[in-house]
């Protein structure tokens, strides 16, 4: 009887140990940033289902083919008409965007939902080396204009360009922490 209890105890201990390893493996794989590293994200979005007809002014213009593969596009924009810019109206906001001056998800290294000391929610976009150079170039030549941040042709935020951004970091203001976390996840998951 003692041997049988020993065997049961050993089997129970082995089962718990193996279950613990599996649990620890899942815990270790959890990332505090809330998603997949940008290097693991596919460069093309999944095929979209058929969408209903929408007003032409409600979607940003069709970008060049290299930009079109990205679901996140940041356009240089203006609140007033500019020659060569395209008018876009969403959520009762009219903005004019330049489809030739863009940054995409491919220019990013990481995205992190965060909030400032006043509790306002943001998504911190960290750019790659080449993305950092493009961000600096676009902001240097477009002071007084804005970035229209879009995700899947939806206007997410408009950020004023007040000075050149050479740090390689752009903060996108969001309406809530939940919206910031959702936007971060969409960027990191390639949606």
Q: Are residues 140 and 108 part of one domain?
A: yes
Query: Domain of 128: which CATH number?
Result: 3.30.1360.200
Lowest mean pLDDT among 40-54, 103-117, 130-144: 40-54
104: in domain: yes
What mean pLDDT value characterizes the chain?
75
- Co-location of 111 and 68 in the same domain: yes
Q: Is the dihedral of CA 75, 81, 86, 89 positive or negative?
A: positive
| 158 in the same domain as 180 | yes
If asked whether residues 133 and 176 sit together in one domain, one would say yes
The position carrying tokens 């505090």 is: 32
Same domain, 171 and 108: yes
Given a cut of 60, is residue 151 above it in pLDDT?
A: yes
Whole-number pLDDT of residue 188:
87
Res 10: pLDDT: 53
Beta strands 93-104; 86-90: pairing state: antiparallel
pLDDT of residue 152: 87
Helix (H) / strand (E) element for 140: namely helix 129-140
State how far the Cα of 177 lies from the Cα of 68, in Å rounded to an integer. 28
Look at strands 169-173 and 121-127 and give their pairing: antiparallel
């Amino acid at each position: 009887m003692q041997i049988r209890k020993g065997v049961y105890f050993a089997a129970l201990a082995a089962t718990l140990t193996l279950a613990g390893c599996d649990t620890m493996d899942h815990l270790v794989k959890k990332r505090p940033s809330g998603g997949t590293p940008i290097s693991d994200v596919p460069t093309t979005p999944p095929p979209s289902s058929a969408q209903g007809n929408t007003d032409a002014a409600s979607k940003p213009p069709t970008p060049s083919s290299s930009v079109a593969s990205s679901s996140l596009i940041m356009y240089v924009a203006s609140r007033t008409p500019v020659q060569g810019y395209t008018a876009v109206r969403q959520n009762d906001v009219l903005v004019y965007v330049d489809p030739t001056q863009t940054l995409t998800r491919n220019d990013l290294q990481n995205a992190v939902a965060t909030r400032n000391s006043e509790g306002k929610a943001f998504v911190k976009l960290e750019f790659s080396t080449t993305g950092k150079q493009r961000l600096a170039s676009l902001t240097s030549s477009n002071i007084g204009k804005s970035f229209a941040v879009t995700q899947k042709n939806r206007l997410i935020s408009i950020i004023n360009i007040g000075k050149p951004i050479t740090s390689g970091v752009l903060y996108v203001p969001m309406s809530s922490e939940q919206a910031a976390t959702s936007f971060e996840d969409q960027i990191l998951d390639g949606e």
